[in-house]
Amino acid sequence: MPPVIEVDHASQSFKTRRGLIHALRDVSVSLDAGEVLCVVGESGSGKTTLGKMIAGLRRPTAGRVLFEGRDIWTSSREEFARYRKAVQIVHQDPYASLNPVQRVRDILAAPLERHRITSGRSTLSRIREILTQVDLTPPDDFLDKYPHQLSGGQRQRVSIARALTLSPRVIVADEAVSMVDTSIRVSLLNTLLRLREELGVAFLFITHDLGIAKYFGWSGSTAVMYLGRVVERAPTRDLIAEPHHPYTRALLSAIPEPDPVLTRAKEKLLLRSLEIPSLLRLPPGCAFHPRCPLFEAGLCDTEVPALTPLPGRRELACHVVLRELTRSGSVTLDGGSESAARAAARGPDLVATTREEGVASSAGQRVEASLSVGDEEGKGGDGSGGHGVGR
């Protein structure tokens, strides 16, 4: 059976007055029925662009998006309409996405009646059912409310309810919990997890916060994006337990731990720069190289590392870590990896630039340094701004 959604080597560029922005470059991800895929990365890494592409709101400039194995952009009108119903998006800001002059009952009735799913009295009973599913109970208390009469969390629940009216197979949740108070974030996440279990709906869950991905996607997988590319993908628990990519390791070390002992024990990765390069002037080779503590000149700044499949349903795009994994024997790559082979041909061992010790580190080891910019290292970013890891 094909995945419900498959993004196949898709790219998305935007023409702007300042030049061409390559927001997504050669991205391939897929979602099976009921699966959770979290997408994490800093601002501007292309998460929303990917979400919109999966929801059919943006056509890729290259590559394909497949729904149940068929290219949505070459499918018939009927098939496209069926796909658009099956994949619903929940945006970050429910206030902006809900019509302020409609009551909750009208907001939810519109898609039900437009798509002839229900009519008359059955519409009202279906609305009550959906409000209950999203924990807006008793439902009659909410039917006649306007969005401004609801709290942020309740508004987001109405957005989720609206997505559910069409019984979707996939929900793209784009920073869906980041605008609600921390105190109700967990309960909203739990509602979404319950919906996934009860309804078997798959989630593309977009967040800039790896801590939230860890909570929501624990039984699913997580893709880490950097400047328009997926740099690592793995089952979430494996990604958290053993992150391979230096960028994932930096993101992980930025998650605050409630336990101070754990905080001290946690890997601290020394980035060479906190500046995110501009998408208009991407660095050659690996786009992470101006910031990467494992950077090797002549390799990382010349060749783009390919996203390479690893055992355990993992994928990784890093010359140096792939080389170390193959050398240490922890990974045998089917048919060999171009990236690792290129790195191996070059020879030198992985050396992590660390402030305290300058220790050699293999991919399986922890790099001991502090998550701050190495002032002795060159600052590679071109100063486009954006918020850096750990700031």
Q: What does the binding site for ligand ATP look like in residue numbers (CB under 6 A)?
A: 14, 16, 21, 23, 41, 43-49, 208, 279
Q: What is the rounded CA–CA span in Å between residue 176 and residue 143? A: 22
Q: Which of ligand ATP, ligand SF4, Mg ion, none does 246 bind, CB closer than 5 to 8 A by kind?
A: ligand SF4
> Between 204 and 340, whose beta carbon lies closer to ligand ATP?
204
* Shortest CB 63 distance to ligand ATP, Å: 16
Sheet containing 5-16: give its strands across: 19-31, 5-16, 62-67, 70-71
* Shortest CB 245 distance to ligand SF4, Å: 6
How large is the angle between the packed helices 152-164 and 182-199, nearest 10 degrees?
20
* Shortest CB 227 distance to ligand ATP, Å: 9
Instruction: Find the binder of ligand SF4 among 202, 300, 325, 369 (CB under 6 A).
Output: 300
Task: Using DSSP, state whether 354 is helix, strand or coil.
Answer: coil
Q: What is the rounded CA–CA span in Å between residue 99 and residue 137? A: 21
- Kindly give the pairing relationship between strand 170-174 and strand 221-226: unpaired
Q: Does 133 bind Mg ion (CB under 5 A)?
A: no
Q: Does 288 bind ligand SF4 (CB under 6 A)?
A: yes
* Shortest CB 131 distance to ligand ATP, Å: 29
Instruction: Find the binder of Mg ion among 12, 45, 48, 353 (CB under 5 A).
Output: 48
Close Cβ partners of 135 (under 8 Å, ≥ 6 residues apart): 157, 187, 191
* Shortest CB 228 distance to Mg ion, Å: 13
Smallest CA-to-CA distance from 151 within 194, 94, 103 is with: 94
Instruction: Find the binder of ligand SF4 among 51, 319, 340, 367 (CB under 6 A).
Output: 319
> Between 48 and 337, whose beta carbon lies closer to Mg ion?
48
Sole residue written with tokens 């929801």: 55
> Exposed, middle or buried: residue 113 (CB in 10 Å: 0-12, 13-18, 19+)?
middle
Q: Does 108 bind ligand SF4 (CB under 6 A)?
A: no
The window from 43-51, 129-137, 344-352, 365-373 that contacts Mg ion (CB under 5 A) reads 43-51
